[in-house]
A and B are shown apart, each in its own frame.
Chain A
Amino acid sequence: MQPLTAMNWLPRPQDFRQALKSAAAAASAIERMDGLVALAQHRLDLVETIQLDNALRALATDPTAVLPRVRVALLSSATIDHLLPGIRVAGLRRRLLLETYKGSFGQYRQELLDRHSTLHAFRPDLILLSLSAGELIGAVTPAASVTEAEQALSNGVSGLRELWRQGREGSGATIMQQTFLDTSEPLFGSFDQQLPGSPARLLPRLNASVADAAAEDGVLLLDVARCSTRDGLDRWFDITRWLQGKIEIAPQAASMYGELLCRVIAAQRGLSKKCLVLDLDNTLWGGVIGDLGLEGIVLGQGSAAGEAHLALQRYAKSLSDRGIILAVCSKNESAIVEAAFREHPEMVLKRSDIAAFAVNWTDKAENLRSIATTLNIGLDSLVFVDDNPAERARIREALPMVAVPELPDDPANYVRCIAEAGYFEAVAFTDEDRQRAGQYSANNEREALRSSFQSMDDFLRGLQMSLVFGPITPIDLARATQLINKTNQFNTTTRRLTADEVAALASSPQNITLQFRLLDRFGDNGLVSVMLLRPDRQDPQLLDMVNWVMSCRVFGRQLEDEAMNIAVEAARAQGAVALRAEFIPTQKNGVISGLFPSLGFTPADAEPGTVGSRWILPLHQYVHRPTFINRGATT
């Protein structure tokens, strides 16, 4: 099995040098950037990564080559210059332009504490702390008593929390902490584990304490220690490089380090993948069901290969349980496949686990498009798993935004490949995630209901919808933040906010924050919409809509009308006279480009220097919008 640092789920480029040349030669900056993004989807060696990064940096200054920018500051007790190209290329892989700041060697404390430091002047969105364990617990000797070791551990963690606080207050950035590598050698041997002051014993405890503290403080974690355990320390730490230049993360691990970092950055921004699309023959089971029949396929106990395919099904099921949508895309006869899902005793995945089912003889690219449409998510939210290299190549060619892992030959390694590609990275696990699988199958039932009704009104009435709503409370905070950051379609401004920022907005009494939970006869759709209103600085009777997001699951259910009714009532109750909203168009929110005029807003002067349009709604002009949604309890 290959190490993580080899990044084998990515395909090798056909001809890197040529591809880089043609990307650079494209006519417009946008096409040049697209060419570089395409190259970043490949497995590149150290020098290729640096070459791609050089091309990227040359293009990044071009204002027409727009990608969303993220400002990342790296602070370390070791040398990290060599990590920057891999980090920026991993950003490019996700269509993010990372602007990086590298702290001076070993100066991280001073830079965090000094509010006038170049670090704070850089105005980072994210500060990553990559420290050697010695910085925190270096003074502990093997002779230390239990009390001394505990004290050092607790001092180390509280010192770190103070640094996090300084970083956050100094620049408002999100803080990310890298876990600590254990580079120590055995001193006594196995007994080290029982010796209070030995690194072998302290390191795992340090990492566990830091993880707990990070969870409490809203700090993100970058778990490099786990990768080093998985690959073996030598893949991540090279003693020669350490002696040569105080390099702690080995150059050969630099690309993977960047990948790990950007997975978390992307997860925080709602850019992780959302749906796993599975091929069937030789993927979900062994053999071709059309040839072998239901009884002939290799699946489940009794055969090693059958166990391997079963393991993939189990993994898919566990992804579904944590909120990842499952879909099937296969060239097959639908009837026999349906029968397999229904009748094969070894199938772990049931038909009801599959939210979108494309089993036919149509081109798979076409099918993936229709899966994305059915689920109302972007093609760039899909991961397509297929054992057939020709199908994979076809999808990469036709739909470059779909992630297609380079599946290993041996089905035994399928799960590992998909898991380690990190497509579904998340920074929180909400109740919403837990219920998502059920919500999608309930959605299928809603669709069935829709097609059984003649008119839209009959359908909406038949849903028996009820709406629970109220201000955002600490209980809703995690889900509300996730919704704000993951929603791309119904998102009026695409302003991403951290949990702290949402909490700050919610805690101020002159603001109106609203969260909406929609229930119907098929179940609870969960917290599906958030609206944030804040008084204008000069005119407190004018409320500005900071953002309004809504899950695509409840589009076409009149929720936008009822939410606006509620917002207007709340605004009037507070003595406001008008609402002002902004619409900032993106590639994905075109679906609501006509939202504000449809709700009775009229055009207002745009804010100077912004790309969006502004809209105003005098409250005395607002006409209550009738809907089929009943008001449930307010929370």
Chain B
Amino acid sequence: MNEQEILSTFTRLLCDLLGDDSIVLTMNSTRADVPAWDSFQYVTFIAAIEMQLGVKFRVADVESFATVGDIVRQTEKLLRQ
């Protein structure tokens, strides 16, 4: 999967999770840009990515992701390994 495919997977996932089809994620999006995306939904989002794509983030990663782009890039790296 390339970064664009991962980004659109994430967008779909977050729309489903929050029940809002109008969400558009970019590489620069942050949690603050999506109103319903609280810390609980963030944990769920990370867990859902791990289950759906079969990757496992490091504990330091999940803390330090600042933008959606950070998660996309880390996912792409993990998928490549």
Contacts and interface: CB of A to CB of B under 8 A. Distances in A.
Contact of A252 (B40, B51, B59): B51
A46 B16 CA distance: 11
A377 to B, nearest CB: 38
Interface in B12-37: 13, 16-17, 19
A244 B43 contact: yes
Interface string B36-72: 0001100110111001100011110011000000000
A51 B43 contact: no
Given A243-B59, A244-B59, A244-B62, A46 B47 contact: yes
- Which secondary structure dominates chain A's binding surface? helix
A418 to B, nearest CB: 26
B62 A240 contact: yes
Interface residues of B, number: 19
Contact of A47 (B17, B58, B63): B17
A240 B55 CA distance: 13
A424 to B, nearest CB: 29
Interface centre among A46, A54, A239, A252 (most CB of B within 10 A): A46
Interface string B2-20: 0000000000010011010
Interface string A227-266: 0000000000011110111010011100000000000000
Given A45-B51, A46-B44, A240 B19 contact: no
A608 B36 CA distance: 44
A50 B62 contact: no
A43 interface: no
Chain A, interface size: which category? 20 to 34
Contacts of B17: 47, 50-51
Given A45-B52, A51-B16, A51-B19, A82 B44 contact: yes
A114 to B, nearest CB: 26
Interface in A442-482: none
Contacts of A82: 40, 43-44, 47
A250 B59 CA distance: 15
Interface string A46-82: 1110110010000000000000000000000000011
Contacts of B43: 82, 241, 244-245, 247, 251
Given A51-B19, A245-B43, A46 B51 contact: yes
B43 to A, nearest CB: 5
A479 B11 CA distance: 54
A545 B63 CA distance: 61
A45 B50 CA distance: 12
Nearest to B52: A45
A46 B57 contact: no
Contacts of B58: 240
A47 B16 contact: yes
A251 B51 CA distance: 9
A54 B16 CA distance: 10
Nearest to B57: A240
Nearest to B47: A251
Contacts of A241: 43, 47
A237 to B, nearest CB: 13
A47 B13 CA distance: 7
B44 A50 contact: yes
Interface string A387-408: 0000000000000000000000
Nearest to A239: B59
Contacts of B16: 47-48, 50-51
A245 B44 CA distance: 11
Nearest to B58: A240
Contacts of B57: 240
A46 B46 CA distance: 11
5 contacts: A45-B52, A82-B43, A244-B46, A244-B62, A245-B39
* Closest 7 pairs between A and B when the two form their complex, measured CB to CB: A251-B47, A47-B16, A46-B48, A240-B59, A54-B19, A47-B48, A245-B43
Interface of A: 45-48, 50-51, 54, 81-82, 238-241, 243-245, 247, 250-252
Interface of B: 13, 16-17, 19, 39-40, 43-44, 46-48, 51-52, 56-59, 62-63
Given A47-B48, A241-B43, 16 more contacts: A45-B48, A46-B47, A48-B16, A50-B17, A51-B16, A51-B19, A54-B19, A82-B40, A238-B47, A239-B59, A241-B47, A244-B59, A245-B43, A251-B47, A251-B48, A252-B47
